[in-house]
Structure 1
Amino acid sequence: MSIASFEVGEHDFLLDGAPHQIRSGAIHYFRVHPSLWEDRIRQARLMGLNAIETYVAWNVHEPDEGAWGFDGNRDLGAFLDAIAAQGMHAIVRPGPYICAEWDNGGLPGWLTAIPDIALRCSDARYLEAVEGYLERVLEHVVPRQVPRGGPVLMVQVENEYGAYGNDKVYLRSLVSTMRRCGLDTPLFTCDQANDEMLERGGLPELLHTATFGSGAEERLAVLRRHQPTGPLMCVEFWNGWFDNVGEAHHVASADRNGSDIEYFMASGASFNLYMFHGGTNQALWNGANDRGYYRPVVTSYDYDAPLAEDGTVTDKWWALRDVIERHVTVPQLTGADVPAERALAPRAEVCFHAAASFDSMIDAEDGEWVASDTPPTFDDAGLWQGLGLYRADLPADAGVLAVGEIRDRAWVRLDGEPIAEFDRASRKNSAPVPRRGGRLDVLVESRGRVNYGPRLGEPKGIVGGVRTARGELRGWRFLPLSLASIEGRIAVVVREQRDADGPIAGPVVVFGSFELDQAADAFLSVAGWGCGWVWINGAMIGRYTREGPARTLYIPAPLLRAGRNEVTVLELASSDGGSMSLVGAPDLGPTDS
């Protein structure tokens, strides 16, 4: 990409001095297999977009303090280079807070676990960590700015800050750090198209942008009150929506989207489709929302986007392309550029041939156990995602077990026998227990950290202690089980032969396989299963849950191979039939329309 200039002009964005409308689409590199980046970016260009926007998730790059990574689907620099290779520009939004329906809003657990730390403000400890984060991340952004021959047009400061705080000193400290690190492209803020939020979240010296999902003319008029001169931009046009566990699959009509895109195009306002391509909340990275009731986000981040989770062009893609084409020249679709409809995905039955009890993965003498008089939180033990096993001696006359709060789901056993299940979403946190005493095990799953609002950074696990009819239950041992720890234990566990499909009582690990003629995108049906995690050929593809709405998990083709493919399932609850299969198309559940 040739060296250019990019500025915020009196009325327009100016690229090499000429008015420039940004037509952008969001793709989060960390939600997409890196071998698929090129295809997803290319489809954005073919639809008529000229830029790609991405968040940067701090906890992806520094999951533990000082443990930095920019490899694989964390390679921000390679993603920006892939955008440039398609002749497109980039918008980078590094937060440090991103929301994005991502675990903890992108903030690392080790940071939010610091006692009494104040987030997203001028707290000295928080700012020191943020400064270190921005220094590392911007090493990959600064040399790729437009004035240096790269694709990066603009960089965002914080994210929808007006919905959370009003600390202008904090915002200016972020600006200072970004400039010191070498950013000389325009910086901007974004907030919902609301007068109070725009005032609280912006700085007069920076470009204001807005976020909304409908009513473009009205919402941009609100933005204009806070941005008297310069270009108008909706940096998040919500062309779909995310799905929470237990709710319907959200869709937004192409006609409704199209009318707003028509207004953007006709008025010259810039926009960013959130999302152009959603991708997948792989592994344990999904976030959660709590507005009086807790709801984790599902594994699929399809978002009803123009480009579906598996990269298939949708009717919405065609409809929005038609709107854009009425105003500007878009790439001609000939030959290999003509998008294909979704092909029938490969079908296959998963044959489960072995199993291992969860208990066989646990060594009572394991040095990782933490002793504590009262049950520690996950955060107390340095566990940011995964499972935690709490163990104590239950007296014979306990009568009832009552937990202050479970975050987020727990399976309770007495001497290995299931006796209760607690769940944060249903607010069930107490149950009668057998009169006999014995070894009490409480296995707790963190189902995703809240990514928006005042509960950002809250601890996981058992919070508030455990009581019985006799009083506080004390004398606990806690075993933190991160994803890496669980994968290590699964690798060495002794497998017992399993002859046939049938009901499964968790927690249990089952091992299976299926055959493919060739690698291709696939969809794994999890109908009939309870609550658990799935690995394909050693790669953790996400979680499933009986509450839905999604009944399939997407398996990207790069994770598969011709011939035998291995499946590992950690079922935490129970399965009705104990069988899984590859099906021909995704099933994201009943819709809300």
Structure 2
Amino acid sequence: MAILDITDDGFHLDGQPFRIISGGLHYFRVHPEQWADRLHKARLMGLNTVDTYVPWNLHAPRPDVFDLDGILDLPRFLELAAAEGLHVLFRPGPYICGEWEGGGLPSWLLADPTMELRTTHPGFLAAVDDYLDRLLPVVLPYLASRGGPVLAVQLENEYGAFGEDAAYLTRLAQSLVKRGVDVPLFTSDQPGDLARGGLDGVLRTVNFGSGVGRGLEALRAQQPTGPLMCTEFWNGWFDRWGGKHVVRDPDDAARALDELLAAGASVNFYMFHGGTNFGFSNGANDKGNYRATVTSYDYDAPLDEAGDATPKYRAFRSVIARYAAEPAEPVPARAPKFALPGIELSEQAPLFDNLAGLGSPASGDRPLTMEELGQNFGFVLYTTRLDTPGPTRLAVGAVRDRAQVFLDGQPVGVLERENHEHTLTFTVPAGGAELRVLVENQGRVNYGAALHDRKGLIGPVTLNGSAVDEWSSLPLPLEDLGPLAFARTDSAVPGPVLHRGTFQVDEPADSHLHLDGWTKGNAWINGFNLGRYWSRGPQRSLYVPAPVLRPGANEIVLLELHGSTGRTVDLREVPDLGPIEE
């Protein structure tokens, strides 16, 4: 049983001085069959600990559900970490940020119009209590106090960047302790937020990527004694759609790491291995302009998205070896890759021809939000009838986040939240027409004041200044593509279309799906949602984990929202994450 103690002069483990050398590794961003490989490579870089968030929204897609299967099998991840000889820093939220959809907060919280997230709002606290009642019995056996790998538990996450309600943090701490958490609690904040985000009696830690001296000095100003720790050493960064791929020079990052360790501090790399925002799980930022995070969470981390060691891995391993015993095993070799060009997607299923099998519509006098529909991710289709011919102006209070507008099935325009677009004009033909508005949730905001990010058509929706009081709202989470009716066709089909093809694999290995000539949508292989693609970049390929493939025939499906120059895709050995930000 390895017990972590916090003393005036630092961490002690079982009574001996101890330095935490940790790295972020989110189990829910890595295929579960690859967890053991990633954990092993963490130890081989010199880490003695790994760090993970817990995504409340994925574990609890509905209030009455708590899922621990597959990629959410948290107990198995903790067991594998222990088997590798690694400790764990456990960060259960309830809010996690992490460039993750909604910062990990379940979307169903926002079905309550009075909800105030990350506060002492009674509805929020009741939901948090229920979450902890479901999560902690599963985790308690893995606490270090009970012989498990979990050394410490984080209280909330960078709360100082959001608020300064000590009563809220106190309530969370009490909730953890009374449910059996008896290992140290800690908070983590950026240097300027340490005072607001901390709580007396709870270890403060600091987050930064550079300016090591200033960061540690800020921490000491709030906490004169005790361990120095950077819980998020930002060795890379995330990408957004429409931007460039962000990288950090390995030598620059290694120099900062050396300075941090020379100061006697503990460290947690954010990230050691970023992984992937599979499916619809990416988050977004909105500081006056909405910016959605891409599918890849490669993060320019020491271990890349496919789990291969990078130059940064080697540089960090060398630095760590100056302060801890270097692992006897060599740097892991690059894993094999699978490539296959020219996979033809020969079958099509127009989305609008397949609506009956994909969801059940709700009627109302206005478009209903996704949260009102009980929907977490994906799309919602709003439909109404227009009987007055002539020029018509559609005006929407807010689009969350991207709306494709169709008149009798023909596209007439797009409204994007990112561009602050609210209006569109088109001509209704004689005899009237059916108006359809397909809205994509591109990722709920995960940071800052815009967390209350309800999706769909928000606020008043008018046509030529008058409200329309008959709407159908159809949730399209696209969790099950089984009901789709595919057929071969040589003609172009307007509107969103799902394309399907098959390909053969002799021996499964990691690959990257390249989508040259395709515009925007999502991709599935053998029913596994790889995530979003978008020609605007920077990311132009999607990571395909080896366990998703199988020997023999494999199926690929693309939801293409606009159109493509052809009907083929490639599987290649290398990714294309886009041009690098200088």
- The verdict on a shared fold, with TM-score over 0.5 as the criterion, is yes
Q: Deviations over 1:432-471 (max 9, x none)?
A: 2114231101111111100001110221000122222252
User: In the alignment, what sits opposite 1:492?
Assistant: 483
Aligned with 2:59 (options 57, 61, 77): 61
User: What are the Cα deviations for residues 500-544 of structure 1, in whole angstroms up to 9, with x where unaligned?
Assistant: xx9764301111112222100010001221111111011111111
| In structure 2, distance between residues paired with 1:363 and 1:177 | 45
- In structure 1, the residue matched to 2:540 is 551
Give 1:20 deviation, angstroms: 0.4
Q: Is the Cα contact below 8 Å between 1:47 and 1:321 reproduced in 2?
A: yes
Residues 1:247 and 2:243 aligned together? yes
Q: Which residue of 1 aligns with 2:466?
A: 471
In the alignment, is the contact (CA less than 8 A) between 2:336 and 2:509 conserved in 1? no
Which residue matches 1:155? Answer: 153
Alignment correspondent of 1:405: 398
1:291-337 residue CA offsets vs partner (Å, 9 max, x unmatched): 11111111100000000000010000001101111222111125xxx
Q: Is the 8 A contact 1:504 1:576 kept in 2?
A: no
> Aligned pair 1:368/2:360, yes or no?
yes
Amino acid at match of 2:196: R
Q: Structure 1: how far apart are the matches of 2:256 and 2:19?
A: 15
* Aligned counterpart, 1:572: 561
Q: 1:326 to 1:373 in 2, by over 3 A?
A: same
Q: How many residues are treated as equivalent by the alignment? A: 579
Question: Equivalent residue for 2:131?
Answer: 133
Q: Give the conservation status (yes or no) of the 8 Å contact 1:398–1:468.
A: no
Measure the CA separation in 2 of the matches of 1:222 and 1:73: 38
Q: Are residues 1:378 and 2:373 paired? A: no
Equivalent positions of 1:429-508 (< 5 A) are 429-436=422-429, 437-469=432-464, 471-484=466-479, 487=480, 490-498=481-489, 505-508=494-497
* TM-superposition CA deviations, 1:241-261 (whole Å, max 9, x none): 011111001101111111111
Q: Secondary structure at the match of 2:102?
A: helix
Amino acid at match of 1:62: A
Code of the residue aligned with 2:526 in structure 1: it is N
Moved more, 408-417 or 345-354: 345-354
1:288 aligns with 2:281: no
Q: For 1:307, give the aligned amino acid.
A: L
Contact kept in structure 2, 1:295 and 1:425, CA below 8 Å: yes
Q: Which runs of 5+ in 2 are unaligned?
A: none
1:357 partnered with 2:333: no
Change in 2 beyond 3 A, CA 1:503/1:578? farther
* Aligned equivalent of 1:582: 571
Matches of 2:96 and 2:49, distance apart in 1: 19
Alpha-carbon distance in 2 for matches of 1:475, 1:412: 17
| C-alpha separation in 1, matches of 2:519 and 2:107 | 27
Aligned equivalents of 1:215, 1:585: Cα separation in 2: 34
| Alignment partner of 1:202 is 2:194 | no
Whole-angstrom CA distance in 2 between matches of 1:121 and 1:429? 32
**Does 2:428 align with 1:426?**
no
Q: State whether residues 27 and 277 of structure 1, in contact with CA within 8 Å, keep that contact through their aligned partners in structure 2.
A: yes
Cα distance in structure 2, aligned partners of 1:538 and 1:343: 23
Q: Secondary structure at the match of 1:443?
A: strand
SS in 1 for 2:315: helix
TM-score under structure 2 length normalisation? 0.97
Map 1:110-121 onto structure 2 (within 5 A).
110-121=108-119
Q: CA deviation at 1:400?
A: 1.7
Normalised by the length of structure 1, the TM-score is 0.95
Q: Per-residue displacement from partner, 1:248-282 (whole Å, max 9, x unpaired)?
A: 01101111111111022222200100000000001
CA distance in 2, matches of 1:23, 1:534: 37
* Aligned 8 A contact 1:346 1:516 in 2: no
Unaligned runs of 5+ in 1: none
8 Å Cα contact 2:348/2:488 also seen in 1:
yes
Contact 2:346 2:567 in 1 (8 A): no
C-alpha RMSD of the superposition = 1.6
Deviation at 1:492, TM superposition (A): 2.5
Aligned position for 1:535:
524
